[in-house]
Chain A
Amino acid sequence: MELKEKIISSYVAFENDIDINSDIHDIRSEAFHNFEKLGFPTKKLEAWKYTSLNAVLKNDFCIFPNKENAVQFADVKKYFIHDIDTYKIVFIDGKYSSFLSDTTHDGKDVCLMSSALSNSKYKAVIENYFNKIAKQDNLTSLNTAFANEGAYIYIPKNVEVEKPIQIINFTTGSEAATMVQPRNLIVVEENAHVQIIERHQSLTDNPVLSNVVTEIFSARNSTVDFYKIQNDNTNASLVDNTYIEQKTNSVVSVHTFSFGGNITRNNLNFYQRGEHIDSILKGITIIEGKQHVDHHTLVHHIEPNCESHQDYKGIFDARSTGVFNGKVVVEKEAQKTNAYQQNNNVLISDKATINAKPQLEIFADDVKCSHGCTIGQLDDDALFYMQQRGIPAKEGKALLMYAFANTVLESVKIPEVKSRINKLIATKLGVNLGFDL
């Protein structure tokens, strides 16, 4: 049976497990019918021209793993940022793991989507925000149809969250192939500040498909720093759909570090609804083998006097393929917009591919929009310089790659995250440079 048919026929079973007499379920049902109509994206869709899910979708995925699977903390400790204190919201095969989590309701809510959806205490927030900015496209609809579990984060006015929040989704491989659909909602009220680290990690080589939807609402004067660490096993694929709405004077940054996985598709969407907003989108992609990473970004400048800064660096080895599609829309009313987009790529091997497409749609006449896109190789002269100083070619290349990615690395605000990213890059490049950059 095809995956789509399997999903459709499983929906009744899913409905048995949840409260179907709610407004939320009306939203789910509508999304379900939407997915039924649209099916999975194919290369015929412009947005999926360079990314094919066909091979991944041939797996016989278990659609909503029901078993409670446990993992030992010692076995998964390395996937946490564990050298600093953090809140943790951890899922194993889509189920909440209270054992690995560290949640709170003290002055803020760092907890579960399932409890937020079923508890009347959260009704107002859910009504105001749930599924309000998520698109009605194929995969977001699919996620919405099954939306039940994920992270729920509510930061009230004037609260500066004292430590970062980690959202980690483990898959154990207890099924031959696993599909999970985490659904996160993050609401950050006026003057509030939060830092979030997100990771998806498969613990075996069994195929995994994670189809994630995250909605983030950033109110006036709020600050959100979001770090996505994508370093999964090469049989794990990820479709990350993130939607962010910002209000006046808010600053939201999303850093995406893509080093692992089979097929990784990031749909990162910013909607600016206010003035003097700053949206920051940064990414480092370092892949090899047959890995594929696709960044589809959208920044929608709707009102005047706002900024956006995009900086994506990609390093592609072997037969890996990359996509960067950076869309910036500046509406007629959005005068004095300052939109900046930079996408630089290095192809290490002759067989690696990058499809880069800056896409600017500007309807205002008094704006500064710049974009730069480069595709090149490592600089031989620079490599020779390092070798001349006694640094072997492999380490020299690694230093050059660090240097290339540095503009993204240096803007990471949590030192432990930066140090972790440095280590992941060093491991990925097979070098030990003996210092953190």
Chain B
Amino acid sequence: MLKINNLHANIDDKSILKGLNLEVKAGEVHAIMGPNGAGKSTLASIIAGKEDYEVTEGDIELNNEDISELAPEERAHNGVFLSFQYPVEIPGVSVTNFIKTAINETRKAKGLEDMPAKDMLKMIREKSELLEIDRKFLSRSLNEGFSGGEKKRNEIFQMAMLEPKLAILDETDSGLDIDALRIVANGVNKLKSKDNAVIVITHYQRLLDYIVPDFVHVLYDGKIVKSGDASLALELEAKGYDWIKEEVNS
């Protein structure tokens, strides 16, 4: 599904990723952990195509196609979804209208007609129930005045609507209380299938109790320095990152 080869990336001439390799297959859940400033969010933004970053070496393949030159919307049309750490507020545009626009623009890019209004409503109803979202919430302006939990739930709702091949959840657990965390994780688990893949970026093991990863990677100083199974996350939770830093630096 996703193959990242020797990826180097800069922002304003500052090197952030320094030869990162990662392979994610369909049906897998990968967790990327690491200390602050390791480049976790940068990696998420680069996969999604944010233009602030300059890829200086390496490439990103999605289903054997190099996507590193594609615009962010083209990557989205190819099935990349990023759940933002800080979702943007858009006053005056309701959640419903926003997701309708997103879905129909994606369909347009694939040469399809707009989704019939009836089907759209049915889908919105189903997916909002999955995320335990109140119908009234859907007519509010996108993210405007939403609590941290509502913003994240809305991100996963959009993910459910867009049905991506590759979903990257960037710090989706930050700002969530335990109930919201359970709802969000439950939503992600229900959307998981053998045909899609999830990358969970997180600081803490907490979320991984609910979304159980097949692989855990430690990102440090722009590279993946250690990989393991779910037990690695527990070890990191218990021991912190210093031992990894020492291992790398020695």
Contact = CB atoms under 8 A, between A and B. Distances in A.
A382 B50 CA distance: 11
B72 A384 contact: yes
Contacts, number: 90
Given A395-B105, A434-B101, A390 B73 contact: yes
Nearest to B168: A388
Contacts of A380: 51-52
B76 to A, nearest CB: 4
Interface string A372-387: 0000000111101111
B87 A385 contact: yes
A387 B48 CA distance: 9
Given A389-B158, A392-B105, A403 B100 contact: no
Given A390-B77, A390-B106, A391-B101, A434 B93 contact: no
B102 interface: yes
B228 interface: no
**B interface secondary structure, majority:** helix
Contacts of B73: 387-388, 390-393, 396
A407 interface: yes
A391 B90 contact: no
Contacts of B104: 434
A65 B104 CA distance: 51
A349 interface: no
A433 interface: yes
Given A379-B88, A399-B93, A437-B97, A393 B109 contact: no
Interface string A291-324: 0000000000000000000000000000000000
Nearest to A391: B105
Interface of B: 45, 48-52, 71-73, 75-77, 80-82, 84, 87-88, 90-93, 97-106, 109, 114, 141, 158, 162
Interface of A: 379-382, 384-393, 395-396, 399-400, 402-403, 405-407, 409-410, 433-435, 437
19 contacts: A381-B88, A384-B51, A385-B84, A385-B88, A386-B102, A387-B49, A387-B71, A388-B73, A389-B76, A389-B158, A390-B73, A390-B103, A390-B162, A392-B71, A402-B92, A403-B91, A406-B91, A407-B91, A435-B97
